[in-house]
Chain A
């Protein structure tokens, strides 16, 4: 066997192995599920400012479904799910569903730089002292809760999701 042929075979074998060893996150068991919270505990209220300086108080959205996402710019699965959150928001916002993404511990400049690569239109709120995340049942990033119109925690997702998945969107819409 010639050396170039051997290297071509080796490259193809390595590529195949890499695909097996490092499958995409979605293929590694991350299904499109939201975990239902049967007891529906009350969501902790918060008042946080977004990048435009607008204040958002969770309790002011009573009567509407609210998706509350906790994230940071350095968190790989947070970055990965952002584009699908934007696509979901484009579908859900006209239906009156709210999406709030709460950044943990970072400043406005850092988040502005992030949005140059990940442009999103839903509000990005700042929890710089992490007081809000610490008052919610969150242990890792990203974590997302879906709050029902009565202000209760209805669903939870730990880790990223494809938020524009039709089955997932239907679960959110059914809370209205």
Chain B
């Protein structure tokens, strides 16, 4: 039973949070880690995406190797954000530009579509590829009624393997609320094969 207790312990580690609860664990099949924050009316979830997965997704949509790699190695997660309030509950607004990435003693912003899109235009990425990119990321800004949600990639502009804390910010009924998910780990990259 000690083995079971140990495994459960590594799968489901609660971390500190002011208003709700943050949990982390890993997918038993892939071994990829996830982090989840849940409080009344909100759920935010991050699932690690291997750089190989992200490179393949964007190369299949018109990105060249170099540009797909720029994004794939920028600490990308598949994310899900939901307004979990019941019918008649409050709307939830967020702007990812308010969220903070804290690594070591350095605090920075996330890299949102607002940051990436001008970069792709400057690097002459084709229109179809830019459209796929724009709509596959979590929107930078959104207002959710109860029951609304989005899935999308999020990028934290950190090297593979970096650990960081993420402060989420959202607004509900005119009030600013926040919470921190601690010790998130950017997915590691596998060595690139050279031809």
Which residues in A have their C-beta under 8 angstroms from that of B11? 14, 17, 21
Is A75 in the interface zone, CB < 8 Å from B? yes
**Do residues A74 and B4 form an inter-chain contact, with CB atoms below 8 A?**
no
List of 10 A-B pairs having minimum Cβ-Cβ separation, nearest first: A29-B84, A105-B131, A35-B145, A159-B149, A158-B148, A31-B147, A139-B139, A140-B150, A33-B147, A140-B139
Cβ distance B116 to chain A, nearest Cβ, rounded Å: 15
A-facing residues in B118-155 (Cβ within 8 Å): 127-128, 131-132, 134-136, 138-142, 144-152
**Do residues B4 and A32 form an inter-chain contact, with CB atoms below 8 A?**
no
**Do residues B147 and A140 form an inter-chain contact, with CB atoms below 8 A?**
no
B-facing residues in A9-41 (Cβ within 8 Å): 9-10, 13-14, 17-18, 21, 28-33, 35
B→A interface (CB under 8 Å): 1, 3-4, 7-8, 11-12, 23, 25, 28, 34, 36, 43, 57, 80, 82-87, 127-128, 131-132, 134-136, 138-142, 144-152
Q: Chain B: interface secondary structure?
A: mixed
Which residues in A have their C-beta under 8 angstroms from that of B136? 72, 74-75
Is A76 in the interface zone, CB < 8 Å from B? yes
Q: Which residue of B lies closest to A36 (CB)?
A: B145
Ordered by A's residue number, 14 sampled pairs between the chains whose C-beta atoms are within 8 Å are A10-B4, A14-B28, A21-B11, A30-B147, A35-B145, A104-B131, A104-B135, A105-B128, A106-B132, A139-B141, A139-B150, A157-B148, A159-B82, A159-B150
Write the A110-138 contact mask toward B (1 if CB under 8 angstroms, else 0).
00000000000000000011100000000
Which residues in B have their C-beta under 8 angstroms from that of A32? 147
Cβ distance A20 to chain B, nearest Cβ, rounded Å: 8
Which residues in B have their C-beta under 8 angstroms from that of A157? 147-148
Which residues in B have their C-beta under 8 angstroms from that of A159? 82, 147-151
Q: Which residue of A lies closest to B83 (CB)?
A: A29
Q: Which residue of A lies closest to B138 (CB)?
A: A140
Q: A163–B138 Cα gap in the complex (Å)?
A: 23
For this complex, into which size category does the number of interface residues on chain A fall?
35 or more
**Do residues B147 and A29 form an inter-chain contact, with CB atoms below 8 A?**
yes
**Do residues A6 and B132 form an inter-chain contact, with CB atoms below 8 A?**
no
**Do residues B3 and A17 form an inter-chain contact, with CB atoms below 8 A?**
no
Q: Which residue of A lies closest to B140 (CB)?
A: A139
Which residues in B have their C-beta under 8 angstroms from that of A30? 82, 147, 149
Q: A105–B58 Cα gap in the complex (Å)?
A: 13
Q: A32–B148 Cα gap in the complex (Å)?
A: 9
Which residues in B have their C-beta under 8 angstroms from that of A76? 151
Q: Which residue of B lies closest to A70 (CB)?
A: B135
Is A98 in the interface zone, CB < 8 Å from B? no
Which residues in B have their C-beta under 8 angstroms from that of A10? 3-4, 7
**Do residues B132 and A29 form an inter-chain contact, with CB atoms below 8 A?**
no
Which residues in A have their C-beta under 8 angstroms from that of B151? 75-77, 159
- Most chain B Cβ neighbours within 10 Å, of A17, A77, A106, A140: A140
Which residues in A have their C-beta under 8 angstroms from that of B82? 28-30, 159
Given known pairs A29-B83, A33-B87, A72-B135, the reply for A17 and B8 (CB within 8 Å) is yes
**Do residues B12 and A17 form an inter-chain contact, with CB atoms below 8 A?**
yes
Q: Which residue of A lies closest to B86 (CB)?
A: A31
